[in-house]
Structure 1
């Protein structure tokens, strides 16, 4: 195909997928969510909309991250390399674990608290605040790990 090798095409696909995932994380978390809270008078609506954006990005991350992880592992194994020493594998694995914890542990707990009704200064409000803090830390770690992969690349030199 136009004289481009399969390996080169796949490398471009990997870079594009990584850019889609990590770029989406940064836009969702550091652009969209703050804009929602800054422009909407209804903080509950802003939170619901931001939650939907984060939920979509979680699914994008699970799909894209899984493909990228399998690709990097396969490449390292084909090269008879020591996969356990390949930091990119650990970074992608950590990102996926953080997304799974956020999407399937923390977020459902937050939704359950909100469904029960949160009164200001109540125990539920404090619990929600703690969960939101944990969720924010998980998101920040994921986005920073992703940024490191974008900066260095998925392929070793």
Structure 2
């Protein structure tokens, strides 16, 4: 029972952090800062930290979910699939989208211009759109995860 409660607590805090960063913190940064380039760099740094945190938490929850399944809590089998999908979103963010966008931004800054005025602006915009879709998918999966965990029937 204690492991299951710990699982629910960690999952709730983690999903809450995803939602807070993506839908409260990032918009607040862009609405507060007048320099869009600097705001993007700050938001990108926060999303990078969130992606690494998500990797660690998700792997830990998957290990704990396996333990709970082995203890006979078979409702955590579907939870493992949700976590796997969320882990794939985190991997895509941490190791594909964020580094690629940072590289494009750094290259543009070396040329003395913001990334949105550089020749890479279109690619950067597409990567940003794709990463936003992955983040939204991860958010929806996270909400579904917490919803399933809150169901007493499971």
Q: TM-score normalised to the size of structure 2?
A: 0.87
Contact 1:37 1:43 in 2 (8 A): yes
CA distance in 2, matches of 1:81, 1:15: 15
1:2-151 to 2 correspondences below 5 Å? 7=1, 9-79=2-72, 81=74, 86-117=77-108, 118=115, 120=117, 122-151=118-147
| 2:111 counterpart residue number | none
Contact 2:3 2:68 in 1 (8 A): no
Q: CA deviation at 1:12?
A: 2.2
CA distance in 1, matches of 2:146, 2:16: 9
In the alignment of these two chains, the number of paired residues is 147
| 1:4 counterpart residue number | none
Which consecutive residues of structure 2, in runs of 5 or more, have no partner in the other structure? 109-114
Q: CA deviation at 1:40?
A: 0.5
Calculate the aligned-residue CA RMSD, in Å: 2.0
Where 2:42 maps in the other structure, the secondary structure is helix
Which consecutive residues of structure 1, in runs of 5 or more, have no partner in the other structure? 1-6
CA distance in 1, matches of 2:18, 2:106: 26
Q: CA deviation at 1:77?
A: 2.9
CA distance in 1, matches of 2:146, 2:88: 19
Q: Cα–Cα, structure 1 residues 57 and 138, in superposed 2: closer, same or farther, change >3 Å?
A: same
Where 1:65 maps in the other structure, the secondary structure is helix
Deviation >6 Å, runs of 4+: none
The reply on whether 1:152 has 2:148 as its aligned counterpart is: yes
Q: TM-score normalised to the size of structure 1?
A: 0.85
